[in-house]
């Protein structure tokens, strides 16, 4: 049913409101596309979802819009052996830089990343002290912690005596 094709007067006001909202939403999403940005509520969550989805279908790499947090998460994942490599790509055709993450697989195409989970979310922040740092999968995974000295794994934060916000778990 197209906007304006309703004949019952009882629903005309509601239908007009729905049409106006959908037109405004379409215009807003077109505006985001023109600027080259997406309306993502949580930047690390978007990155983790893109990596998780690419990992499921065995992609060799995945591109995520650049931010310092995403760059540092990729750096930690590389240091811990969860990804092969990462690099920042500045394409003059695009209005923003991207971080290209090269995923890592075993010799028989087994996934190195078994799981990723966003812990602290915009609606519910999770903070831990230096004595309560989480262990992921009994020490087989890592927790990425946002500390006063930047993003650290739970092992690095423990050595430095730092607590902070739990960004995500990787195993």
CATH architecture of the domain with residue range 43-170: 2-Layer Sandwich (3.30)
Q: What is the pLDDT of residue 27?
A: 45
How far the first Cα of the chain sits from its last, in Å, is 47
89-96: long-range pairs with CB below 8 Å, 24+: 89/63, 94/36, 95/35, 95/36, 95/37, 96/36, 96/37, 96/65, 96/66
Residue ranges, the chain, pLDDT below 50? 1-2, 14-30, 32-33
Q: What is the DSSP letter of 25?
A: H
Q: What is the pLDDT of residue 95?
A: 87
- Give the count of alpha carbons within 13 A of 8, CB side only: 4
Q: What is the pLDDT of residue 10?
A: 57
Domain definitions of the chain by residue range: 43-170
Q: What is the pLDDT of residue 12?
A: 54
């Amino acid at each position: 049913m197209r906007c304006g094709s309703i004949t019952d007067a009882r629903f005309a006001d509601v239908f007009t409101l729905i049409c106006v909202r959908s037109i405004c939403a379409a215009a807003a999403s077109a505006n985001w596309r023109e600027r080259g940005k997406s309306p993502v509520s949580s930047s690390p969550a978007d990155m983790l979802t893109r990596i998780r989805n690419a990992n499921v279908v065995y992609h060799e790499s995945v591109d995520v819009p650049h931010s310092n947090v995403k760059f540092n998460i990729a750096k930690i994942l590389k240091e811990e052996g969860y990804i092969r490599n990462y690099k920042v790509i500045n394409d003059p055709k695009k209005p923003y830089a991207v971080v290209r993450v090269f995923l890592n697989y075993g010799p028989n195409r087994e996934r190195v990343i078994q799981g990723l989970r966003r812990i602290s979310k915009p609606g519910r922040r999770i903070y831990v002290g230096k004595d309560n740092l989480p262990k992921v999968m009994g020490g087989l995974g890592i927790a990425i912690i946002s500390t006063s000295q930047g993003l650290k794994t739970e092992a690095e934060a423990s050595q430095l005596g730092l607590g902070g916000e739990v960004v995500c778990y990787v195993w």
